[in-house]
Structure formats: C-alpha cells, structure tokens
Amino acid sequence: MTRIQNVLTTAALDVDAEALLGRCATAVRLTMNFHPDRLLGDGRSVAQALFEEGVYRSQFEISISNGGLAAYTGGDRDAWEDTLFAGAYQAPGVATRERPKYAA
C-alpha cells in the first residue's frame, strides 16, 4: 500500500491509496486476457499453471507474449513502466511478482 501511495504522491495526486483500492474493489470490472494454451518454460500450459497456482503472472515472470517480448530489465516495456509508474517497480527490493499485470 505504501508503494501505491508513494506513486500517487509523486504524481501530485491528493488521493488516499486505501480508499482508491477499496473503490476499485467495488466499482471496477476486471478482465483477464491470456492465451490458455501457451506453454511455460516448465512445459505446463498457462491455464494449467493458473489453475494449480491461482496466480495471474506478468510477462516479466513467465517470459511469453502474444506480441512483443520486451518485458525484461532494460527492455522497452521496463522503460515505459519506469516512466509510467515513477520508477516504483525498478526500485531495489521490488520482486518481479509485484509488477503490474495487464494486457489487451
């Protein structure tokens, strides 16, 4: 929660992170876009891994994509996420699993 509040503050937004996330939980529709048949490095399909682990992972974690694969440190996606999120995910100690997950 602290990281989200820091990003909001850095962006000069006078918004309480906890209130914002609470509003999202009740008012936002979420869609998950993925290719369930794609294979991960361990040979499991995306659908199988999602079922077994219950976790929707980002390109930074699974290294597969339907489009450009620029999700690596120093890649194009890393660079624009650095700009978009004010370096929040490039900070020391941030785990790959903490990066945002989105697709289109």
Separation of alpha carbons 25 and 18, rounded Å: 11
What average pLDDT does the chain have?
84
What's the rounded mean pLDDT across residues 47-74? 82
What's the rounded mean pLDDT across residues 8-21? 86
Residue 51 has a pLDDT of 92
Q: What is the DSSP letter of 38?
A: P
